[in-house]
A = this chain, B = another copy of it.
Amino acid sequence: MTYFLDPASAAGFRPETFAKADLARGAQLFLGLNCFEPGQRQTAHTHADADKFYLVVSGKARMTVGTETRVAGSGALVWAPAGVPHGVDEALERTVLLVGIAPPPATARR
């Protein structure tokens, strides 16, 4: 196992819907990727008890947190604290998001 990871090289895509990849999982924090082809989306949802962020590794997407909608490009950090609905309205390019969730979600859903 290595502690030094390359998110960009872990990206993978699916034609039917956005793709997820796990990067790291501890007792307190999960890190992974959400990878979107242009036009793909993630339905808005809420984690009642978990804080979450997205970091745009590459690409560009229109995203919503709470009542705020913005186009987030490479390097943008999107903060979705516990209880606040969030989602990806539409990827405007092929887009890779680093995602962190604390505490980690169950393996079946995130």
Q: How far is the CA of A97 from the CA of B94 in the complex (A)?
A: 25
Binary CB contact string for chain A from 1 to 24 against chain B (1 if under 8 A, 0 otherwise): 011111110000000000000011
Identical copies of this chain, number: 2
Interface residues on A, range: 35 or more
Q: How far is the CA of A100 from the CA of B3 in the complex (A)?
A: 15
Mark contacts of A68-110 with chain B using CB atoms, 8 A cut-off: 1 yes-contact digit, 0 otherwise. Answer: 1010100111111110101000000000001010110000000
Closest B residue to A5 by CB, please name it.
B77
B5 touches A76 (CB 8 A): yes
Q: Which residues does chain B contribute within 8 Å of A81, judged by CB atoms?
A: 24, 26
Given contacts A28-B49, A53-B100, 4 further A-B contacts (CB under 8 A): A3-B78, A23-B77, A26-B82, A31-B79
